[in-house]
Structure 1
Amino acid sequence: MQYRLLKPELGHRLPSVSSTNEWIRDPEIPFGSWVIADEQTAGKGRGQNVWQSLGEDPLIFSGKIRLSAAEISLPLVSIFISSALLKTIYRFFPERLEDTTIKWPNDIYKKDKKVAGILVQSEFTNGVYDIVIGIGLNFFGKQIPEHLNEKATYLCENPLGEGDLERFANQLVLEINQAVITLLDQSQVLKDLVWIEEHSLLKNKVIETEWEERMVRGRVLGIDELGFLLIMTETGQKIELMDTSPKFRII
């Protein structure tokens, strides 16, 4: 099949939109397109959650790609898109190498607070995944809303310069494409998973989560080749998590 990765020349910028993910899902918008918006009034998070962009300098991004379902593990897409975002952050803000990591499966954390979230939505038809990638990143702001003060923060201590947002978005497009190309080459997947684990907030952490209708506690071993989180429980049982439950927490 013909893959449809993001194309730099198919970028859009909108002053305001209800949701960039919904905007780009329009069938009239071709695959390979991507968009950034200055404002989003009804951003989408996982499940029924909403994504609230914070501060004066947010990145509000969505892109649309098409991939063969036979050649890709969908759970890996979120974690590899997270790695693409983190690599872009490191490129532009090398000082963040010391304190910014991936929180499996699809968030970016600065120390112990969230700075970015990723929402991957897919539709399966005739052996093909149509995938919409939504990314929200809070670059800079003067204050955090009180109800998020313990959970969220900003990536940067200073405002972005002129043109920085556009340059960041264009580099992110390239990194997302490279992440997808890597996913299509099994010989490269494990190599990138090693990099992801080295830059993981959960590396060697003890976590507690709901699993098979009961609470379990264990140490994170890593991420397998399908994108599942591997846990060794207190009782010595090795389990795989496909996603975090609402009760997931780091001990």
Structure 2
Amino acid sequence: MVDYSALELLNGVDYSILESTTSTNDYLTTLPFSKDIKVCIAREQTAGKGQYQRIWLSKKDSSVLLSLRYPFPTKIALNGLSLAMGLSVIDVLERAYHLDHLKLKWPNDIYFKDQKLAGILIENSVQNDQQSVVIGLGLNHQLGTDFECDTPWTDLSNICPTLPNLVDLHEKIINNFLKSCQRFEQHGFSTFKAQWHQHDYLLGKQLELNYQDQKIIGTANGVNEHGALIIKTNNAVIEAY
């Protein structure tokens, strides 16, 4: 059993450790609306959530499964926030654990080479002048050889020279999330854009997507100042949110 009693978060942020839950995002979104920052960590998720109603698969004590609830004023546009949070995770993995070959697949997945390592899901609710934004992260730590998933995947045990301590990893990621949220609130996505360019998984790749009820085929050409994906087609440049 993982012992989180030594966890130290910036500014004494309140956190909950759950033995098991449907998803950490669900836990925080069902709490009463509040301007307080709150963190939830789970040893196990029974119905982990991914983007576009997909399921996030994991095993008990084998992944980083956490969510951060952060209050943003309603005047703050959240475009690009999932990209900024993905970069926040990569920053920790590169600086603290000396990983490279990490890429971000717009809008919310972290890849090691061509294998998925982590994903981010953002949900928010609005009340008066405040947004209660929940930022969820699933990061594969040590899933084991018996783990089955249709998507090509990897975990830190396969790519790190020394496997990070799970509690230390949670602490570093959460504290960097808090710093990145403050930076995003002050400056938006624009200050993250250069870093995104260095880690852009889709850059230069051919894409096919549905856009305004039409099938679009084009080439990914980075993101704009607000985190929208730029796609060049034969006769247009499209910015997709």
Superposition TM-score tier, normalisation by shorter sequence: 0.7 to 0.9
- The alpha-carbon distance between structure 1 residues 182 and 64, as it changes in their structure 2 partners (threshold 3 A), is same
- For the 8 Å contact 1:6–1:31, the answer to whether it is kept is no
- The alpha-carbon distance between structure 1 residues 168 and 31, as it changes in their structure 2 partners (threshold 3 A), is same
> Which amino acid letter does the alignment assign opposite residue 49 of structure 1?
R
What is the SS of the residue equivalent to 2:41?
strand
Question: Equivalent residue for 1:115?
Answer: 117
> Which amino acid letter does the alignment assign opposite residue 206 of structure 2?
V
Distance in 1 between residues matched to 2:13 and 2:182, nearest whole Å: 19
Task: Name structure 1 gaps, 5 residues minimum.
Answer: 243-251
When structure 1 is superposed on structure 2, of 27-36 and 52-61 the one drifting more is 27-36
When structure 1 is superposed on structure 2, of 43-52 and 222-231 the one drifting more is 43-52
- The alpha-carbon distance between structure 1 residues 207 and 8, as it changes in their structure 2 partners (threshold 3 A), is farther
Question: Equivalent residue for 1:60?
Answer: 65
- The alpha-carbon distance between structure 1 residues 56 and 185, as it changes in their structure 2 partners (threshold 3 A), is closer
> Which amino acid letter does the alignment assign opposite residue 14 of structure 1?
L
Distance in 1 between residues matched to 2:172 and 2:181, nearest whole Å: 14
- For the 8 Å contact 2:122–2:135, the answer to whether it is kept is yes
Q: What TM-score does the superposition give when structure 2 sets the normalisation length?
A: 0.85
> Which amino acid letter does the alignment assign opposite residue 40 of structure 1?
Q
Distance in 2 between residues matched to 1:147 and 1:182, nearest whole Å: 35
Q: Tell me the CA shift for residue 219 of structure 1.
A: 1.7
Q: Does 1:169 align with 2:174?
A: no
- For the 8 Å contact 2:34–2:132, the answer to whether it is kept is no
Distance in 2 between residues matched to 1:197 and 1:55, nearest whole Å: 34
Q: Does 1:45 align with 2:50?
A: yes
What is the SS of the residue equivalent to 1:82?
helix
The one-character-per-residue Cα deviations of 1:172-202 (angstroms, maximum 9, x if unpaired) are: 122112222222333x743321111211111
Q: Does 1:104 align with 2:106?
A: yes
Question: Equivalent residue for 1:238?
Answer: 237
Distance in 1 between residues matched to 2:125 and 2:57, nearest whole Å: 25
Question: Equivalent residue for 1:142?
Answer: 144
The one-character-per-residue Cα deviations of 1:211-231 (angstroms, maximum 9, x if unpaired) are: 222222212221112111011
Say which of 14, 18, 30 aligns to 1:14.
Answer: 18
Flag as ranges the 4+ runs of structure 1 deviating above 6 A. Answer: none
When structure 1 is superposed on structure 2, of 201-210 and 21-30 the one drifting more is 21-30
- The alpha-carbon distance between structure 1 residues 144 and 241, as it changes in their structure 2 partners (threshold 3 A), is farther
- The RMSD of aligned alpha carbons is 2.4
The one-character-per-residue Cα deviations of 1:96-128 (angstroms, maximum 9, x if unpaired) are: 21x211111111111112111111000122232
What is the SS of the residue equivalent to 2:52?
coil
Question: Equivalent residue for 2:153?
Answer: 152
- The alpha-carbon distance between structure 1 residues 147 and 83, as it changes in their structure 2 partners (threshold 3 A), is closer
Question: Equivalent residue for 1:31?
Answer: 36
Q: Tell me the CA shift for residue 147 of structure 1.
A: 4.5
The one-character-per-residue Cα deviations of 1:49-88 (angstroms, maximum 9, x if unpaired) are: 2211148621110111111121x22121111111111111
Between the aligned residues of both structures, percent identity stands at 28
**Pairs aligned (count):** 230
Q: What TM-score does the superposition give when structure 1 sets the normalisation length?
A: 0.82
Question: Equivalent residue for 1:224?
Answer: 224
Please give the residue correspondences for 1:176-215 in structure 2 after superposition, counting only pairs within 5 Å: 176-186=177-187, 189-215=189-215
Question: Equivalent residue for 2:4?
Answer: none
Distance in 2 between residues matched to 1:182 and 1:209, nearest whole Å: 31
